[in-house]
Amino acid sequence: GAGVSQSPSNKVTEKGKDVELRCDPISGHTALYWYRQSLGQGLEFLIYFQGNSAPDKSGLPSDRFSAERTGGSVSTLTIQRTQQEDSAVYLCASSWGLAGQETQYFGPGTRLLVL
Amino acid sequence: AQSVAQPEDQVNVAEGNPLTVKCTYSVSGNPYLFWYVQYPNRGLQFLLKYITGDNLVKGSYGFEAEFNKSQTSFHLKKPSALVSDSALYFCAVRALLTGNQFYFGTGTSLTVIP
């Protein structure tokens, strides 16, 4: 079946511009995570959506970052006024099952480069 | 603070030899532990997880890991390495007492030498 998809696969933008990154989770998966993977770093948790509950935004690094999930499916991560330090690979993962125990299915990521 | 440590950035092993990729963790409460693998130009893939029960967990591609509570470790092992095992390996931990976050290590690059 179809896995998690993300678009675009690559994004080059200029400092100060806004960008939107999209994630299409696996159908039926109730949980969705966004992570940031920087060179030499582990995966940094950004935000977590679970069903219709309020998202856990505790990992967002600044108020320039926001995310939404429409209809419990597609999610968009928005970065406003991008900075060079935002350059990274942004990964989306979806899952279902008992919270904390579930296997996450990752998308291929969006590689963001801020010039 | 909750954290995961992968003390080795790089592990090299000869094909056919056993391999070990190390992981230690620090969480409040009982941990749920995971290993993921990232092949070049591909997304992370699930290998195995420990939730409860038997400390030795078997996963995909012949990998296994042993949960050691006293040493707070969850090392990944395979009896005989293949060249195709060369990839980036991530350990992750989650504890329900600490919210919704999965904490990932910084990754260990495994190279299997033919």
Q: Which CATH class is domain B3-109?
A: mainly beta
What is the rounded distance in angstroms from the CA atom of residue B105 to the CA atom of residue B9? 10
Q: Are A69 and A55 in contact (CB under 8 A)?
A: yes
**In chain B, where the domains are located:** 3-109
pLDDT tens digits in sequence order for chain A, 115 residues long? 589 999 999 999 999 999 999 999 999 899 999 999 987 778 899 999 988 888 999 999 999 999 999 887 999 999 999 999 999 999 999 998 777 778 999 999 999 999 9
Residue that is written with structure tokens 């920087």 in the block: A38
E strand map for A1-115: 5-7, 10-13, 19-24, 31-37, 43-50, 65-69, 75-79, 88-95, 105-106, 110-114
| Closest Cα in chain A to B33 | A101
The amino acid occupying position A101 is Q
Q: Using 50 as the pLDDT threshold, list the residues of chain B that sit under it.
A: none
A7: contact with B, CB 8 A cutoff: no
pLDDT attached to residue A1: 56
CB-closest option in B32, B46, B92 to A101: B32
The pLDDT of residue A106: 95
**Cα-Cα-Cα-Cα dihedral sign, residues A46, B1, A52, A93:** positive
| Chain A interface includes B10 (CB < 8 A) | no
Rounded to whole angstroms, the Cα distance separating B86 from B14 reads: 11
Predicted pLDDT at B15: 97
Asked whether B73 and B22 are in contact (CB, 8 A), the reply is yes
- Residue at B20: amino acid letter: T
Residue ranges per structural domain of chain A = 5-114
A76 pairs with which residues across the strands?
A22, A68
User: β-strand A19-24 against A75-79: which pairing, if any?
Assistant: antiparallel
Assign domain A5-114 to a CATH class. mainly beta
* Shortest distance, CA A99 to any CA of chain B (angstroms): 8
Length, in residues, of chain A: 115
A57: left (phi over 0), alpha (psi -120 to 50) or beta: alpha
CB A100 within 8 A of CB A74: no
The number of CA neighbours under 13 Å toward the Cβ of A32 is 32
What pLDDT, on a 0 to 100 scale, did the predictor assign at position B53?
Answer: 87
The span from the CA of A89 to the CA of A91, in Å, is 6
> What pLDDT, on the 0 to 100 scale, is given for residue A21?
98
The 10 Å CB-count burial string (b at 16+, else e) for A74-97 is ebebebeebeeebbbbbbbbbbee
pLDDT, residue B98, reads 65
Contact B106/A42, CB-based, under 8 Å?
Answer: yes
